[in-house]
Amino acid sequence: MDFDVPILTTVHVVISLAAIASGAVIAYGFIAAKRLDLWTAVFLATTVLTSVTGLIFFPIERFTPGIGIGIISLIVLAVAILARYHYRLAGRWRAAYIISSVAAFYFNVFVLVAQLFQKVSALKALAPTQSEPPFAVAQLFVVVAFIALGVVGTKRFRVEPTNPQLV
């Protein structure tokens, strides 16, 4: 069965952007100490779909960093989903949920930055092989921001009573 790669790429990109947008919303929730149940479900679902579509929509000719990130992201997402929905953020599962969610969000943004440096001509000119300082500085900025988000989110985010209809 032949797949239309441009359409699959578009679907994958739309899902990825939805995951990043909903990740930004739940990150705000961590900082503002608000549990955003619907946004959490959207984030977790779209982020899982981002990794799955990245792994199944495109031909795998060799192991790449993108494949590795997709696999690690799915493992991290399993922790987030267990912490949120099975363990209901009880005890240390609250921190596990925040850290794993922030890590999954980071992986999406890491890939976004890499894709921007590959696809946007002005950025590609700055770092054509992605081993140049502008790419490294951009990724360093991203990782520092996400570490800060994880630390602040873990300190501020507290469990509110669960609405059983939304769980």
Query: Do 51 and 72 touch, CB atoms closer than 8 A?
Result: no
Query: Do 152 and 95 touch, CB atoms closer than 8 A?
Result: no
| pLDDT for 127 beyond 70 | yes
Does residue 165 sit within a domain? no
Does residue 163 sit within a domain? no
Q: 121 is in which domain, residue-wise?
A: 5-156
Does residue 167 sit within a domain? no
Does residue 138 sit within a domain? yes
- Distance of alpha carbon 125 from alpha carbon 134, whole angstroms: 10
Instruction: Report, as an integer, the average pLDDT of 72-85.
Output: 98
Banded model confidence at residue 1, pLDDT cuts 50, 70, 90: very low
- Distance of alpha carbon 131 from alpha carbon 161, whole angstroms: 47
Does residue 161 sit within a domain? no
User: Would the pTM of this model clear 0.85, i.e. be above it?
Assistant: yes
Number of structural domains (the chain) is 1
